[in-house]
């Protein structure tokens, strides 16, 4: 059977998350001038509740699974090792309906793992950059060229990979780009990734990232929008935690509240990825930014009710059900 054209190809790192559920009595959160810190006993044996392994996660992988759940033919460009962890990731993605043809298996490398210290509903993630993987943009047959690229976090040593993708996009004008820059891409600076920002159909960041990328005023959402649009993206989405989210197409700007949690969040990993991928999915289906803002917070709300970034992802029918049950206050508000 011939392969179908991929609707959206997510690009970025894929890892296995190892969750360690800390006991409430064995840690504290200390607030200081530089933010909150998780505090635990030092040089001691610290009891914990349980651990849980969640394979095939990461910004791009989470998005690929979300797109598949929402009815798209989605694929992933990423690297795994030739070990049991890599095989488990591939199997997990396959079961989720994600095309793994472009996941490169590095036979002599180990698959990357992150360790998640899960305290109450929040988490602190211990990460290690995947310096062992050599990233190279794949060659595609004409039939393999996707309609959309969803580009997210890669490692700090992979700036040349960003350049390879930018050059490929220059040669394929019909392909649309959704850009969710990761930590190291943001640190690289907007000037260094100028071509990607200019090429983006959609740029999705949180408010702190918007401030860092643009150099704008954190307290002035209009200033952040103005500066981010000046970089080139047609649509900008800015998430803002409990304060909701904002979106702009350069002419119209909206503020959107969060969807009410049916119960207190269980674990917050992946909420941002769920919001962004669902916002992009709605745009891919032809929705306005207003309609996309109605969808996206619902998937984010659902994800925080489960462990990990993917267990709570919803399909279109489930999102529509939540929309029918939404309170009257749940709607986008045009900003002046």
The reply to whether 146 falls in a domain is yes
pTM for this prediction: 0.93
**Mean pLDDT confidence for 185-203:** 95
The reply to whether 121 falls in a domain is no
The reply to whether 171 falls in a domain is yes
The per-residue pLDDT for 184 is 86
The per-residue pLDDT for 3 is 63
Q: Is the pLDDT of residue 2 over 60?
A: no
pLDDT digits over 312-328, tens only? 999 999 999 999 999 99
The per-residue pLDDT for 1 is 44
pLDDT digits over 56-114, tens only? 999 999 999 999 999 999 999 999 999 999 999 999 999 999 999 999 999 988 998 99
Q: Sign (positive/negative) of CA torsion 173, 175, 180, 184? A: negative
The reply to whether 278 falls in a domain is yes
Query: pLDDT confidence of 33, banded at 50, 70, 90?
Result: confident
Give the angle subtended at the CA of 205 by the CAs of 88 and 276, to the nearest 5°: 50
Spacing of C-alpha 306 from chain mean position: 17
Q: Is the pLDDT of residue 336 over 70?
A: yes
The per-residue pLDDT for 140 is 86
The per-residue pLDDT for 63 is 98
Q: Is the pLDDT of residue 131 over 60?
A: no
pLDDT digits over 160-171, tens only? 889 999 999 999
- For the chain, the average pLDDT equals 93
**Mean pLDDT confidence for 276-287:** 98
The reply to whether 235 falls in a domain is yes
**Mean pLDDT confidence for 126-149:** 82
pLDDT digits over 216-267, tens only? 999 999 999 999 999 999 999 999 999 999 999 999 999 999 999 988 888 8
SS (H, E, C) the chain: CCCCCCCEEEECCCEEEEEEEECHHHEEEEEECCEEEEEECCCCCCCEEEEEEEEEECHHHHHHHHHHHCCCCEEEEEEEECCHHHHHHHHHHHHCCCECCCEEEECCCCCCEEEEEEECCEEEEECCCCCCCCCCCCCCCHHHCCCEEEECCCCCCCHHHHHHHHHHHHCCCCCEEEECCCHHHHHHCCCCCHHHHHHEEEEEEEHHHHHHHHCCCCCCHHHHHHHHHHCCCCEEEEECHHHCEEEECCCCEEEECCCCCCCCCCCCCCHHHHHHHHHHHHHHCCCCHHHHHHHHHHHHHHHCCCCCCCCCCCCHHHHHHHHHHCCCCCCCEECC
The per-residue pLDDT for 96 is 97
* Residues spanned by the domain of 142: 8-12+59-104+136-334
**Mean pLDDT confidence for 180-209:** 95
- Domains in the chain, number: 1
The reply to whether 50 falls in a domain is no
Q: Percent of the chain having pLDDT more than 90?
A: 82
The reply to whether 23 falls in a domain is no
Q: Is the pLDDT of residue 128 over 80?
A: no
CATH number of the CATH domain containing 216: 3.40.1190.20
The reply to whether 128 falls in a domain is no
């Amino acid at each position: 059977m011939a392969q179908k054209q991929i609707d959206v190809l997510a690009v970025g790192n894929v890892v296995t998350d190892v969750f360690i559920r800390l006991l409430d009595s064995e840690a504290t959160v200390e607030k200081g001038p530089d933010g909150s810190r998780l505090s635990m006993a030092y040089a001691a044996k610290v009891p914990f509740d349980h651990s849980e392994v969640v394979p095939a996660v990461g910004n791009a992988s989470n998005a690929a699974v979300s797109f598949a759940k929402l009815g798209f033919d989605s694929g992933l460009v990423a690297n795994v090792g030739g070990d049991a962890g890599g095989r488990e990731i591939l199997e997990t993605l396959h079961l989720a309906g994600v095309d793994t043809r472009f996941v490169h298996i590095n036979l002599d490398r180990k698959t990357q793992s992150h360790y998640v210290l899960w305290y109450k509903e929040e988490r602190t993630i211990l990460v290690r950059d995947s310096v062992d993987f050599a990233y190279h943009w794949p060659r595609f047959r004409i039939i393999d060229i996707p309609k959309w690229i969803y580009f997210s976090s890669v490692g700090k040593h992979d700036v040349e990979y960003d350049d390879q993708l930018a050059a490929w996009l220059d040669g394929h004008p019909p392909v649309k780009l959704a850009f969710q820059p990761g930590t190291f891409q943001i640190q690289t600076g907007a000037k260094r990734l100028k071509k990607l920002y200019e090429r983006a159909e959609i740029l999705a960041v949180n408010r702190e990232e918007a401030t860092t990328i643009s150099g704008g005023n954190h307290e002035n959402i209009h200033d952040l929008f103005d500066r981010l649009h000046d970089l080139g993206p047609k649509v900008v989405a800015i998430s803002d935690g409990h304060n909701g989210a904002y979106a702009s197409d350069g002419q119209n700007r909206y503020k959107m509240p969060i969807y009410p949690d049916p119960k207190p969040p269980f674990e917050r990993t992946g909420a941002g990825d769920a919001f962004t991928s669902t916002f992009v999915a709605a745009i891919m289906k032809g929705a306005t930014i207003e309609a996309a803002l109605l969808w996206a917070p619902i998937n984010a709300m659902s994800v925080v009710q489960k462990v990990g970034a993917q267990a709570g992802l919803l399909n279109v029918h489930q999102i529509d059900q939540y929309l029918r049950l939404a309170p009257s206050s749940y709607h986008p508000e045009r900003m002046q």
